[in-house]
């Protein structure tokens, strides 16, 4: 039977062709067609994923590295894709699956070839150390390059996402890098230890310097204090010397005044003595011609009993050579001295 009915899935883009011209196209179409005069092309509207592994990429320092990644893409222009790759559909699913597989292989191969070219070009500017850590940068550069590539556009494809899963060196290179990195880490560790020790020494030096500066300042303060004390002591000594000088001057003045006073007192005493001598001389002159017995009588008349007894004993003493023995008892003395 030449007339058939076909209903396609929404994820399938169908192009209905008659006599070499597309008479109907779209997603998920359903229609009757004549198998004798009508042909169809069915393109998947879903995205495809393809992985890649390159083990012969050379860096700028001539080291081979392995690059592994994944690319997701889809068909953006169905007419261009249909003109470049066979997506013919003849109503037999198994046969179409084989055609679709070959179409995917062809598109993936073209993308992989371009990918390797761009990866090689990018990593050839990096040394081995820079290359193995440039996964993110490589993915961005590769995505930008493929989006603008003419071949990709001619195939009607669109790059959705690119992931770089790994950039690894060759085993020998990896071991050498690990050894070099290990040595670098150890060197950094030694440098860190040296820096810590140097920092500790520097801090200790700063502390010692601060202590020394503090001691110097303290010594300067002590010197200033000592000089101030000496100055104060000197001023006090000068003040004391002034006071002592004033005291000595005052003492000299007082001694001068005392000397003048003594001289005056001596002169007065001399004058008194001269006056007494004059009186005595006048008195003696007065009594020069008077009988001694009269004078004694006058003297006795004015004496008390004790003076008279004393005078009597004086006279007895004067005539001791004429008296043999004289006994005076204490009772007699007591009686004689009573008033």
Cα→Cα distances 33→6, 30, 73, 333, Å: 8, 10, 32, 198
Question: What digits encode the pLDDT tens for the residues 220-271?
Answer: 888 888 888 888 888 888 888 888 888 888 888 888 888 888 888 888 888 8
pLDDT winner (highest mean) among 151-155, 254-258, 333-337: 151-155
Residue 195 is predicted with a pLDDT of: 86
Does residue 139 have a pLDDT over 60?
Answer: yes
Predicted confidence band of residue 324 (pLDDT cuts 50, 70, 90): low
d(CA 79, CA 146): 20
Note the pLDDT tens digit of each residue in 52-106.
999 989 999 889 999 999 999 999 999 999 999 999 998 888 899 999 999 999 9
The pLDDT > 90 percentage for the chain reads: 41
Q: What is the pLDDT of residue 299?
A: 55
- Judge whether residue 297 has pLDDT over 80: no
Separation of alpha carbons 291 and 206, rounded Å: 122
Q: Which of 149, 139, 89 is nearest to 114 (CA)?
A: 149
Q: Which residue has the higher pLDDT, 54 or 314?
A: 54
Q: Which CATH architecture has domain 47-169?
A: 2-Layer Sandwich (3.30)
Between helices 93-123 and 135-147, what is the axis angle to 10°?
A: 120
| pTM score, whole prediction | 0.54
pLDDT at 306 over 80: no
Mean pLDDT of the chain: 84
Q: What spatial distance separates the first Cα and last Cα of the chain, rounded to whole Å?
A: 203
For the chain, what are the domain ranges?
1-46, 47-169, 301-337
């Amino acid at each position: 039977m030449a007339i058939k009915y076909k209903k396609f899935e929404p994820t399938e883009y169908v192009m209905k062709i008659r006599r070499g011209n597309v008479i109907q196209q779209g997603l998920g179409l359903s229609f009757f067609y004549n198998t004798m005069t009508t042909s169809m092309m069915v393109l998947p509207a879903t995205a495809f994923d393809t992985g890649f592994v390159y083990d012969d990429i050379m860096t700028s320092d001539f080291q081979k590295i392995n690059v592994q990644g994944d690319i997701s893409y889809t068909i953006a222009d169905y007419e261009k894709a249909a003109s470049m790759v066979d997506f013919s559909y003849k109503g037999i699913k198994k046969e179409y699956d084989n055609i679709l597989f070959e179409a995917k292989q062809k598109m993936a191969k073209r993308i992989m070839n371009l990918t390797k070219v761009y990866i090689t070009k990018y990593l050839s500017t990096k040394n081995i150390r820079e290359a193995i850590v440039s996964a993110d940068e490589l993915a961005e550069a590769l995505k930008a390059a493929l989006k603008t590539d003419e071949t990709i556009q001619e195939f009607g494809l669109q790059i959705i996402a690119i992931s770089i899963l790994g950039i690894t060196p060759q085993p020998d290179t990896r071991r050498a890098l690990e050894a070099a990195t290990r040595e670098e880490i150890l060197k950094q560790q030694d440098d860190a230890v040296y820096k810590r020790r140097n920092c500790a020494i520097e801090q200790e030096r700063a502390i010692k310097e601060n202590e020394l500066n503090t001691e110097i300042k303290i010594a300067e303060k002590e010197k200033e204090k000592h000089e101030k004390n000496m100055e104060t002591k000197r001023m006090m000594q000068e003040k004391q010397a002034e006071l002592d000088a004033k005291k000595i001057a005052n003492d000299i003045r007082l001694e001068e005044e005392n000397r003048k006073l003594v001289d005056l007192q001596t002169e007065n005493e001399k004058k008194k003595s001269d006056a007494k001598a004059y009186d005595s001389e006048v008195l003696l002159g007065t009594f020069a011609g008077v009988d001694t017995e009269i004078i004694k009588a006058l003297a006795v008349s004015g004496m008390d009993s004790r003076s008279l007894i004393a005078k009597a004993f004086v006279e007895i003493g004067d005539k001791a050579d004429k008296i043999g023995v004289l006994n005076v008892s204490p009772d007699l003395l007591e009686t004689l001295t009573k008033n």
